[in-house]
Amino acid sequence: MSRRSLSKGQRIDVLAAASGVCHICGDRINPVRERWEVEHVIPLALGGSDDVENMRPAHRACHAGKTRRDVGVIAKAKRVAQKHAGTFRPARHKLPPSRPLPGTKASGLRKKLNGSFEPHPTRTR
C-alpha cells in the first residue's frame, strides 16, 4: 500500500468532484486564499484505498483534527488485529494464596480406605 502524490490535475478533480466543499466542516474551500489538502475518507491504515474515489478535499486545519482523532481508531484496529493473529497477551491471572491441595503430602493428612483421615506418616516422622 503506497501513498502516491496526486498531480495538480487530480487535486483539481477531487476539489471539483466535491463542488469545492470541505469534506470535514462542510464549508466552501477558497483554493486561492486557504490551504487545503486531499484527505482519505477511509484512512489508508484502516484499509481505505488510495484511489480518487476515497479522496475528498479538506481544509488543512480540519484535516489535522481528523488525523488526530483517527490515530486512536487505528491503534484499536491494530490491537484487534493482534488478538486475531494470536499475538495478544492478556494480563496473567494471579493465583490466590496457596493452600496445600487436599490429599497431597503437603496437606499433612492422608485419607484412609474407611474414609477417615490420619496424619501423613512422612509429616509425623
Q: Return residues touching Zn ion (CB under 5 A).
A: 22, 24-25, 59, 62
d(CA 64, CA 66): 6
* Cβ atoms of 41 and 57 closer than 8 Å: no
Query: At closest approach, how far in Å is the CB of 8 from Zn ion?
Result: 21
Query: At closest approach, how far in Å is the CB of 74 from Zn ion?
Result: 21
Query: At closest approach, how far in Å is the CB of 27 from Zn ion?
Result: 5
Question: Which residue, 24 or 109, is less far from Zn ion as judged by CB?
Answer: 24
